[in-house]
Chains A and B, each alone.
Chain A
């Protein structure tokens, strides 16, 4: 079942077209990644889904209901973790979460319970009474997430939730995203950190200049541009090494030498690194270094748009 359906979504700011005919369908239980450079139109798309921006053209449907006609219903079922930290510095962590959850109609015991749960979830259970002023960047980010999930939305949208924080908090956030997902939440995750998107997203849309230029799982996206990988093995002496035998290994397409470096060109989908190493060991060839250039999303992005994701 589709949680979110976007059809020909367009946003114009005067003459400038920020989002240009985006169509997407996000299924229940997915972690869907939006990948794109800054200003590609990710945030604009998200702001339209969250009801912050008027839609110039096209439609958005959440659980089959149109955003324009059922905006209250749609808003109730979405939790947005904004790109900027948006919390009250003068209120305690718990008060923050309670206030935002209260906007969705929760009151009394239910509110209290949900708020505490949300704080526990992001690992701030022991900081209920503390003020965000004393928090580190990572903790603020986590509180930022807690404020968006306490009302238990069906769809959670995370707009660059890991900008500018320490590795530990980043790890914690990524884990909680996965946990949220396994609890049954559908998640839209935007980032310009390739590794994060690769690590957690089940499907990814590459967005550039307001358009979805490619969409699919990581493997599908990579297979768009190539089905091969490059393995470079530097050995002590490649002079009388039999290349033919390597050629017969599983998945290998061609082999050639460049000085002491043996270049192996192989199917990307076949995991044959172990085999290759074993072969070298059997032949008693001393390996100096080994490098695998498997294509990743960065390569996909670079090939498709001619630009790097981050400058």
Chain B
């Protein structure tokens, strides 16, 4: 054990002396969250700035502006028509609601017109604003249809509505499915990063063989088992560190709701870290050189991660691929996390945990088997 710790210390030194390495191992988690967030979560963040050109200045137009001003995540800026173009191109607002003269009138008549929604960013923002607009104006229109163009009746009904509805309007509903997807996606990218971390660290064994320091270790009173074990320990430790960093960053910095407890997430991912170490040790055991190992690694890891839904949801893929994906450990981790998010109890997922454990056991045994088969001949020159 003393020797193993000594070798682990040295492995850490060797790995982290190289600043590039250290940066990759530590920045990996940050990168995967960033990718997930930019790909799936941009509207979750911050405010949307819209401009309003109110040429109508009648009561419904004014109330509409008020409605948007009252929204939590929307910032409204009143501008004139001449300013509109510049505000849009400079990006100071993302879209503009243009209420022309006669807007209130058209609503009263139950036939909305004289309203334009202008944006240069495209459908994403517009649909969002649109949905709020429809929601708000829909209610008003319903009143106008009821009163059949009776101006006075409309006015009273409208005032009544305004007073009541202020309480229920304008608060954002939490979109849990978005959060779930983002968490699973982040874990998907983290899995890829973990694979490459594990691959790189396990390839140290081959690199040490190539640099001949391995033989020096074997000359010392140390067995090959102790050496491989120390490598595996270092590997697991680095990955556990990555997992912790990722989860903490997600919770604090990016404010993503995991929808499952820290411990559950940590446990599942750590279990997978062991599987990853098993796989990378297998690759190292079968590869003849570190170059070959990284080639095999690329050939195996990227496609399987793609198949198992690390990059994009499994549901979009054809059924055959989904079936193949069932044989991949990555699928099981993501599946477990998704189920935990869906509210499944941890104890009810014992089968998933057992499968992950079995994956780990199988790969570790396979690696040991292969190592023991080629232990002697490698030194011959």
Is the A/B pair a real complex?
yes
Contact A75 B6 (CB under 8 A): no
Main SS class of interface, B: helix
- Given A13-B380, A91-B13, A52 contacting B219 (CB threshold 8 A): yes
Q: Is the CB of B379 within 8 A of A53?
A: yes
Nearest-neighbour CB distance to chain B for A65, whole angstroms, equals 13
Point out the residues of chain A lying under 8 angstroms from B13, CB to CB. 90-91, 95
Known contacts A84-B212, A86-B211; A75 and B219 CB within 8 A of each other: yes
In the assembled complex, the Cα of A104 lies from the Cα of B10 at a distance in Å of 14
The answer to whether B216 and A100 touch across the interface, beta carbons within 8 angstroms, is: yes
From A85, A91, A105, A147, give the contact of B17 (CB < 8 A): A91
Question: Quick one: which of B18, B212, B381 contacts A43, CB cutoff 8 A?
Answer: B381
A147 vs B3: C-alpha distance in the bound complex, in angstroms? 17
* A53-111 with Cβ < 8 A to chain B: 53-54, 71-72, 75-76, 78, 80, 82, 84-91, 95, 99-100, 102-105
Determine if B14 is an interface residue (Cβ-Cβ < 8 Å). yes
Interface string of B204-232 (1 = CB under 8 A from A): 00000001110111111110000000000
Q: Is the CB of B215 within 8 A of A52?
A: yes
Report if B345 contacts A (CB, 8 A). Answer: no
A144 — nearest CB in chain B belongs to which residue?
B216
Chain B residues whose CB sits within 8 angstroms of the CB of A87 once the complex forms: 213
B2 contacts chain A at the CB level, 8 A cutoff = yes
Contact B17 A90 (CB under 8 A): yes
Query: Nearest residue in A to B211 (C-beta to C-beta)?
Result: A86
Q: Are A88 and B14 in contact (CB under 8 A)?
A: yes
A87 to B212, CA, bound (A): 8
Q: Is B376 an interface residue (CB 8 A)?
A: yes
When A82-B212, A86-B216, A87-B213 are in contact, do A103 and B380 touch as well, CB less than 8 Å?
no
Q: Measured between alpha carbons, how far is A148 from B217 in the docked complex, in Å?
A: 11
A51 interface residue, CB < 8 Å from B? yes
B-chain residues with CB within 8 Å of residue A50 when the two chains form the complex: 219
Q: Complex: how many Å from CA A210 to CA B219?
A: 22
Q: Is A82 a contact partner of B2 (Cβ separation < 8 A)? A: no
- What is the chain B residue whose CB lies nearest that of A79? B219
B216 touches A104 (CB 8 A): no
Interface membership of A272, Cβ < 8 A: no
Give A54 to B372 CA distance when docked, in angstroms. Answer: 13
* Residue from A52, A88, A99, A104 in contact with B218 in the complex, judged by beta carbons closer than 8 Å: A52
Contact: A13 with B377, CB < 8 Å?
Answer: yes
A112 within 8 A of B: no
Chain A residues with CB under 8 A of B376 = 53-54
Residues of A within 8 A of B380 (CB): 13, 18, 44, 53
CB-defined interface of B1-39 with A at 8 Å, one 1/0 digit per residue?
Answer: 011001100100110011000000000000000000000
Known interface pairs A47-B379, A80-B219; A90-B18 also in contact (CB < 8 Å): yes
| A141 to B380 Cα, complex, angstroms | 22
Q: Within 8 Å CB of B377, what residues of A?
A: 13
Task: Tell whether, in the assembled complex, residue B18 and residue A104 are in contact, meaning their CB atoms are under 8 Å apart.
Answer: no
With the chains together, A91 CA to B208 CA distance in Å?
Answer: 14
Q: Which residue of the partner chain, among A75, A89, A91, A95, contacts B220 with CB atoms under 8 Å?
A: A75
Write out the residue numbers on chain B whose beta carbons fall within 8 Å of the beta carbon of A71.
221
A residues within 8 A CB of B216? 80, 82, 86, 100, 147-148
Tell me the complex Cα distance, A84–B212, Å. 7
A86-B213 contact given A78-B219, A103-B220, CB 8 Å threshold: yes
22 CB < 8 A contacts A-B: A47-B379, A52-B215, A52-B379, A80-B219, A82-B212, A82-B215, A86-B211, A86-B213, A88-B14, A88-B211, A88-B213, A90-B13, A90-B17, A99-B10, A100-B220, A102-B6, A103-B6, A103-B217, A103-B220, A103-B222, A105-B221, A148-B216
A binding-site residues for B, Cβ under 8 Å: 13, 18, 43-44, 47, 50-54, 71-72, 75-76, 78, 80, 82, 84-91, 95, 99-100, 102-105, 147-148
Excluding A72-B221, A91-B10, 19 further A-B contacts by CB distance (< 8 Å) are A13-B380, A18-B380, A52-B215, A52-B219, A53-B376, A53-B379, A53-B380, A71-B221, A75-B221, A80-B219, A82-B215, A84-B212, A86-B212, A86-B213, A88-B14, A89-B211, A91-B14, A100-B220, A105-B2
Which B positions have Cβ atoms within 8 angstroms of A?
A: 2-3, 6-7, 10, 13-14, 17-18, 211-213, 215-222, 376-377, 379-381
The 5 A-B residue pairs with the shortest CB-CB distance in the complex, in nearest-first order: A103-B220, A86-B212, A75-B221, A84-B212, A90-B17
